[in-house]
Amino acid sequence: MERIERIREFGGWLDRYRHDSDSCHCSMTFSVYLPPRAESAPVPAVYFLSGLTCTDDNVRVKAGAQRYAADLGLALVMPDTSPRGDGVADAPERYDLGQGAGFYVNATRQPWAAHYRMYDYVNQELPALVERELPLIPGRRSITGHSMGGHGALISALRNPGLYRSVSAFAPICNPVECGWGRGCLGAYLGDDTASWKEWDATELIRAGAQPIPLLIDQGVDDEFLRDGQLRPETLSRACEEHDFPLTLRMHPGYDHSYHFIATFIGEHLAYHARALAKA
């Protein structure tokens, strides 16, 4: 992988890399924050999956996460939300499909299947690459994300028991098979077999008996996408209650879907992950 940017922050380094992806069959970009502790000892990593329309730049600029990661001794790994570039399928008339909207699934339907394999990229290729090329990140991982990225974090943890020490999410899309965003993208990427969509839905994975892992979710009560039914945390909560699945769902009056909301609670999420990553 090629380092294309390096910025000094809070005693550590914010680096940006480009590499050719075997999963997505294109050039991919991601950022890594290494805290000061990484200069002398290995550090665990928290993966942050961003939401619709975003790149790695949104979280590293707007969330304020690096300050907390520096204090807690955590690396942050921040991938893009989809493959990009010439020759990569896109729907330029839509913000919720194509480049910037990979939905963290492995597409099976053309023209998306050739490049849109963000699930494999996030859970297999990227960790292997980071841990091989940056030996101070040895393989202790947690995962979080926002909106579409919150959906990605939840399904990544639920489908891969033991891969992540902990999982959290900010305003995630909790039940995509029952919301407009999810139906539009899952139908495009996976085809018309709606039963297969459930493999990419946190609520449906819990209903199907996913191995329990504690979930921490923060949701703004004044989130416009909560009001229009895109996020559906109440459905996830009901599934967790019915299946004795550990969930902490915190509803915050006055907060919306923006990075102002994420920045308010990112420190608590990173502390939550740091505790889990410190366990033997």
Active-site amino acid positions: 147, 223, 257
Residue whose C-alpha is closest to residue 100's, from 199, 110, 115, 108: 115
The answer to whether the CB of 250 falls within 8 A of the CB of 209 is: no
CB-count burial class (<10 Å; 0-12, 13-18, 19+) for 67: middle
The four Cα atoms 88, 108, 97, 16 give a dihedral, to 10 degrees, of -50
Residue found under tokens 């297999």:
124
Edge-to-edge order in the sheet of strand 26-34: 2-9, 12-21, 26-34, 75-79, 45-49, 141-145, 167-170, 215-220, 247-252
